[in-house]
C-alpha cells in the first residue's frame, strides 16, 4: 500500500469540523448557482415555449437549437466563455441556463399540448377570455409536465454546477477539485455527497410543492 494512502482514509472526520465554514459556503454557493440558473432557464424556456406553441413552424427550430446546446461538453462551454465574461458568475450561469432549456422547453410544450382539445373548446365556449383560459385552465392542466421538467432540470443543474468550479465560481465542485489536486479523499467525498444530497433534496421539495399544487392529479390514481 502506498504510504500516502495509509495516512489518507476516505473520510477524515476532523476535516468536517475544521473546514465547516468552507463547506457551508460552498454549499450555499452551489445552491445559489443552481437556483439562479434554473430560474433564468424557466424564464427563457417560458418565452421559447410560448413562441413554439404560438407558431407551429417555430417549434422544431427551437427544440433543435436547445438540443444542440445540450450536446456541447460543459467544460468546453465554460472555457469558451472565459475570454468574454472572464471569471464572473455569468461564465458559469450562461452555460447552466443553456443546459436547462432542452428539458424545460420540451416539457413545457408537451404540457400545454396535453390540454385536451375538448377542455379548451369548453373553456372558449363558456366565454373565457384567452388570458383567463391560459392561466386558469391550460396552466394548471400542464402543471404536472412543467413540474416534471423543473425537477429534471434542477437535478441535472446541481450536477453541472460541480463542473462550474473550473471557472472559479466555487460551489461543491471546488471541494472536489481541491481534493483531486491534493490527492485527499475527504473533500472529494464531502463535495460529491453534498451535491447528491442537494440534488435529492431539491427534487423532493419540488415534488412536494407540485403535489400540493395539483391535488386532482393525486386523486386520479386512487
Partner 1 sequence: MASAIRLVGVTKRYDDRSPPAVRSLDLEVEDGELVALIGPSGCGKTTTLRMINRLVEPTDGRIEVAGLDVRSVDATQLRRGIGYVIQQAGLFPHRTVAQNIAVVPRALRWDRARIAARVEELADLVGLERSLLARYPDELSGGQQQRVGVARALAADPPVLLMDEPFGAVDPIVRARLQGELSDLQRRLHKTIVLVTHDLDEAVRLADRVAVMSLGGVVEQYASPDEVLRAPANEFVEEFVGADRGMKRLRLHTVGELPFLQGPVVDEATTPAEALATLDRLGSDWLGVTRDGTFAGWVHRTSIGEAPLSRLQLHMPAAQVTPDSTLHSAVELIMSSDTSVAVIDDGGRFGGVVTLEHVRGALARGRGS
* Residue window 97-116: x/- pattern of binding to partner 1, with contact defined by CB under 8 A: -------------------x
Q: Which stretch binds partner 1 (CB under 8 A): 92-100, 152-160, 174-182, 214-222?
A: 214-222
H/E element holding 85? helix 74-85
Quickly list H helices, 114-221: 117-125, 130-133, 139-163, 172-182, 185-213, 215-221
Q: Does 56 bind partner 1 (CB under 8 A)?
A: no
Q: Does 79 bind partner 1 (CB under 8 A)?
A: no
Residue reference for cell 472526520 = 13
Contact pick of 141, 146, 153, 175 for partner 1 (by CB under 8 A): 141
Contact pick of 72, 87, 122, 200 for partner 1 (by CB under 8 A): 122
- Closer residue to partner 1 in complex, CB, 2/220: 220
How many Cα atoms are found within 13 Å in the side-chain-facing hemisphere of 3? 0
H/E element holding 37? helix 20-54
Say if CB 13 and CB 184 are below 8 A apart: no
Site residues (vs partner 1, CB under 8 A): 116, 118-129, 132, 137, 140-141, 143, 214, 216, 219-220
Amino acid at each position: 500500500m502506498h504510504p500516502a494512502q495509509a495516512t489518507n482514509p476516505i473520510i477524515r472526520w476532523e476535516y468536517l469540523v475544521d473546514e465547516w465554514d468552507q463547506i457551508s459556503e460552498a454549499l450555499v454557493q452551489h445552491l445559489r448557482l443552481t437556483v439562479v440558473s434554473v430560474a433564468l432557464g424557466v424564464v427563457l424556456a417560458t418565452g421559447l415555449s410560448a413562441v413554439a406553441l404560438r407558431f407551429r413552424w417555430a417549434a422544431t427550430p427551437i427544440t433543435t437549437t436547445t438540443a444542440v446546446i445540450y450536446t456541447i461538453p460543459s467544460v468546453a462551454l465554460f472555457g469558451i466563455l472565459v475570454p468574454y465574461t472572464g471569471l464572473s458568475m455569468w461564465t458559469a450561469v450562461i452555460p447552466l441556463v443553456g443546459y436547462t432549456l432542452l428539458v424545460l422547453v420540451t416539457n413545457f410544450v408537451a404540457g400545454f399540448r396535453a390540454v385536451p382539445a375538448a377542455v379548451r373548446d369548453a373553456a372558449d365556449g363558456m366565454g373565457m377570455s384567452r388570458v383567463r383560459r391560459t392561466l386558469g385552465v391550460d396552466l394548471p392542466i400542464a402543471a404536472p409536465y412543467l413540474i416534471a421538467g423543473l425537477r429534471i432540470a434542477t437535478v441535472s443543474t446541481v450536477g453541472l454546477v460541480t463542473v462550474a468550479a473550473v471557472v472559479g465560481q466555487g460551489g461543491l465542485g471546488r471541494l472536489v477539485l481541491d481534493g483531486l489536486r491534493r490527492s485527499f479523499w475527504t473533500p472529494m467525498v464531502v463535495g460529491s455527497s453534498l451535491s447528491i444530497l442537494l440534488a435529492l433534496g431539491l427534487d423532493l421539495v419540488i415534488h412536494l410543492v407540485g403535489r400540493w399544487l395539483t391535488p386532482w392529479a393525486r386523486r386520479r390514481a386512487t
